[in-house]
Structures are given as structure tokens and as C-alpha cells.
Amino acid sequence: MNSAAPTENTTPNTTDVPVQQFRQAMRELAGAVSIITVGDEYNRTGFVATSVSSFSAEPPRIILCISLTSSSWAVLSKTHRFGVNFMREGEDAIASRFTGFGGIKGEARYEGAEWIGLPTGTQVLKDALASIDCTLEESLERHDHAIVIGKVESIRICDQGSPLLWFKSKFYSMGGPVVTT
């Protein structure tokens, strides 16, 4: 049973939810960290994302959300290709570079890690838990983001290790499995 009492910060049932309150609520949602790579070895950028999810298994499809003002959307919307790299614990330094915090841009985000260029041109992180090479099947622009559906073209799995997580604006590692009684 959960003994934590909810804090008194409720909103009336209205569409005008304050953005700040929305952000505060979303800080309570833990997410697995991925790096999305776009472009090729000559012109590449990318970003950290927690919006990645499996969309369909048959056929294999990935879904994610991407900011329309990001450097990655400028490239992805033209090349129609991207890589999804599931990050492992201990890879927070390279993930940080892909947040763009501190003004690190484009090619400089790739420094400090080993990358593999796939035949499609997509760059994937050598030590990711798994990497998925996608082509853009469909995108839907809504508000300040696009919902992107990726057709899975190839997969690379090196499943030794645990995922890197994001919670309350910080990187976390996983404590271990919960034993359900």
C-alpha cells in the first residue's frame, strides 16, 4: 500500500492547466533515457528523449515525440532516418551532451563515445543496451512537437547492463526488481 499523502496542489477541471503545474507533475514520471541520432557521419546531430515507446510489434514500429524547433527535426524531416539508442546506467555523461545543455551542438554531441555507422548512414552508439535503425514512416505535427512513427529497419542488441533513467530532472540507475508477494 502507498502511504505517501498527495500534496495539496490540485487544479479545477479546466483545459487551462498552468504550464508550471504540468511541468511539476511530469517530473514525477520516471522515464528510460534514449539518444536519438539523426544525420550521417558528415552532418549529424541528435537529442536525448524519454518519449520513446514501442508502437507496434507486428509490424515493428517505434513512436516518439520531437520538438519542431530542435536541430534534430530540421535534419530528420529531410533525411527521414533516425537511430534510437537505449542508454545504459553509467552513460549519463554522453546522454548529457545530447540534452544540448551548456550549448553543445551537432557533431560535438558525439564526442567522448564510440559510434558505429550503419549501412543506412545512421549512427548508433556502440555500447547502448540496444539500438534501433528506423526510417520515418509517418509524422504528425501538433502544437510544438511532431509525433514520429519509425519503421524498424534493423536492430542491434547488447543487453548486458541496466537502463539509465530520468526522474525529477536527474539521471538515475535502477535499484533492482521488485518482488511481488
Ligand X SMILES: Cc1cc2nc3c(=O)[nH]c(=O)nc-3n(C[C@H](O)[C@H](O)[C@H](O)COP(=O)(O)O)c2cc1C
Q: Does 75 bind ligand X (CB under 6 A)?
A: no
70 forms part of the interface with ligand X (CB under 6 A): yes
CA distances to 28, 47, 167 from 25, rounded to whole Å, are 6, 22, 11
Per-residue mark of binding to ligand X, 94-133 (x: CB under 6 A): -----xx---------------------------------
Burial of 122 (0-12, 13-18, 19+ CB in 10 A): buried
Residue 58 contacts residue 64 (beta carbons within 8 Å)? no
φ, ψ for residue 19 (rounded to 5)? -55, -40
77 contributes a contact to ligand X by CB under 6 A: no
Smallest gap from Cβ 47 to ligand X, in A, equals: 3
Q: Are 60 and 154 in contact (CB under 8 A)?
A: no
Q: Is 79 in the site for ligand X (CB under 6 A)?
A: no
Closer residue to ligand X (CB): 11 or 90: 90
Q: Give me the residues that bind ligand X (CB under 6 A), please.
A: 45, 47-51, 65-67, 70-72, 99-100, 166
